[in-house]
Amino acid sequence: MVLAKTEEERAKVQNWARDAGLLPRQRRKGGGRKPVLDQARLERLDRLLQANRAMTADELAAAYTAETGTAVGKSTVAKAMKDLGYHKVKLKRPPSTPAPQSPPRHTEQHRREPTAQGYPSALTDREWEVLEPLLAKRDGRGRPSKHTKRQLFDAVFYQARTGTQWRYLPKDFPPWPAVWAFFWRARDSGLYDRMLDALVVLWRRASDRDDAPTAGIVDSQTAKTTEKGGFAAKDYEETTESEKAWVYIAMISLLTHRLGVT
């Protein structure tokens, strides 16, 4: 054991023991590594920041490196700014101006509201003027119908639009057996096919086109719809006559409405 009598001797003994690895080395007050930026460099960084307060940490680090030649990173600059008393503030973006909106193609004449006289799916007078000539009887045989064709078509369009069951048709329509019978008689007689063909011609004429198209484009569906194929996939040829009829009804309703508002 080495005994030191004075403070000077005690300091020499401690230094010798520390150099020999017998004592841990004294750490700098505050711990950690020596800061990269001392007070003078912090003041220089502060001047750069005061010159342009809108700079980001990356831009400030690049400007400091270009001016002093000392490479510093974003984290060093961020820590130095914190030591200088700065804090992060999110820039406020100017309010965005909405893009100019084109006028809607769906105008007031396309909107239908329920009235005391009918439902939104009911035919207007103008639409009935388009549809009525297509329903003229070819001969005068048979007794007169108890219900008008317009009432029956209004009921069919209501059923197609709402998807209700035949027995749940509202009471202001003709009785559901009469509507149902009219629907399948028109389906089996080919009335829907003839009406759709005639409406397509009328629509093409209203659009300044020829009665029949002169060219066609054949397209195929690329979206995956079913895991099964072959006989398990449903083809249009396997569609029932009722399903085809509802497609015709939807197209007839659409074309009649379009022709009625032009």
Rounded to whole angstroms, the Cα distance separating 44 from 38 reads 10
| Amino acid at position 187, single letter | R
Residue 11 within any structural domain of the chain: no
Question: Which among 106, 157, 155 is positioned nearest to 261, based on CA atoms?
Answer: 106
pTM above 0.85, yes or no: no
User: What is the number of helices (H) and of strands (E) in the chain?
Assistant: 9, 0
* b/e sequence 130-158, b meaning 16+ C-beta within 10 Å: bbeebeeeeeeeeeeeeeebbbbbbbbbb
Domains of the chain: total:
2
Confidence class of residue 236 from pLDDT cuts 50, 70 and 90?
very low
CA 204 vs CA 128, 140, 211, 262: distances in Å: 19, 31, 6, 12
- Kindly state whether residues 80 and 196 are assigned to the same domain: no
Report d(CA 61, CA 48) in Å as an integer. Answer: 10
In a domain, residue 178? The reply is yes
Are 55 and 178 in the same domain? no
Average pLDDT, the chain: 76
Q: Which domain holds residue 55?
A: 34-88
Residue 29 located in a structural domain: no
Q: Is 96 contained in some domain? A: no
pLDDT tens, position by position, 87-126: 777 777 888 888 787 776 666 555 666 666 678 888 888 8
Provide the pLDDT for residue 174: 92
Nearest to residue 41, comparing CAs of 74, 85, 80? 80
Task: State the DSSP H helix or E strand holding residue 253, giving kind and residue range, or none if neither.
Answer: helix 241-261
Radius of gyration of the chain (CA): 44
H/E stretch holding 149: helix 149-162
